[in-house]
Amino acid sequence: MLKNNSYTRIVAKALILLAIFAIYGGCKKSNDDPYANFSVSNSTPTIDELVTFTNTSTNAHHIKWTFPNGTTATSNTVSYSFYPNGIYQVKLEAFNSNETATDFYTKDISVCISGKVVFYTDSLNFKGPIDIVFNKEFAGSLSTFNLGIPNCGQPGAVTVEICPGIYSYEATGPNNKTWKSSVKISTNGCTAVKLN
């Protein structure tokens, strides 16, 4: 026969093991439970830019989107535009067939009032093209020179529109001439960068 202290210790250990199972094992999702997730075409759009959201959930019988203005949708792909600037949250819920298991995923969308940068050259000795990579993405090529500083969007220059911030750029011209630097973009601004 066990002594009273030994019995108490065994019961206490059993209770601890049950608590650990309840916390770590009992709450574990089944492999058949829905797992909510989605992709977004642009998580830092400009005001009124149409953003596309695509459902990538697994084991979901049906889904429900909820957007910042309270509207909902149930299709796999939806588009939405944001106004005014600010940070917005989009939510996707995934359900199994009888809604006994659900999951949700949220993502913040940072909407900005954009600024612009215009790349140009005014060298009369220009021999193009000059290829421009801005923020690690190809932005365009200069194929001619400008007389003076161009406006953003002007033909003959390369214009990039993006949220305010400091961005790096790299340009490569004939004979492997390169320009590397950074530029500050401000709200509603047009910053000119000369590549000579």
The per-residue pLDDT for range 133-154, each reduced to its tens digit, is 999 999 999 999 898 999 999 9
The CATH superfamily of 38-111 is Immunoglobulins (2.60.40.10)
Q: How confident is the model at residue 30 (pLDDT cuts 50, 70, 90)?
A: low
Cis before 174? omega within 30: no
Share of the chain above pLDDT 90, in %: 71
Q: Is the predicted pLDDT of residue 183 greater than 70, yes or no?
A: yes
CATH 2.60.40 fits 115-194, yes or no: yes
Query: pLDDT value at position 8?
Result: 52
Query: pLDDT value at position 28?
Result: 47
Quick check: 191 and 116 in contact, CB under 8 A?
yes
CA 91 – CA 79 distance, rounded (Å):
13
CA 192 – CA 116 distance, rounded (Å):
9
Query: pLDDT value at position 25?
Result: 46
> How do the domains of the chain map onto residue ranges?
38-111, 115-194
Share of the chain above pLDDT 70, in %: 85
Least confident stretch, 28-32, 40-44, 49-53: 28-32
CA nearest to 101, candidates 61, 50, 54? 61
**38-111 and 115-194 share one fold:** yes
Q: What angle do CA 159, 163, 164 make, to 5 degrees?
A: 100
Query: pLDDT value at position 153?
Result: 93
pLDDT in tens, 64-112: 999 999 999 999 999 999 999 999 999 999 999 998 999 999 999 999 9
One DSSP character per residue, 89-146 reads EEEEEEE-TTSSSEEEEEEEEEEB--EEEEEE---TT--S-EEEEETTEEEEEE-S--
Quick check: 80 and 43 in contact, CB under 8 A?
no
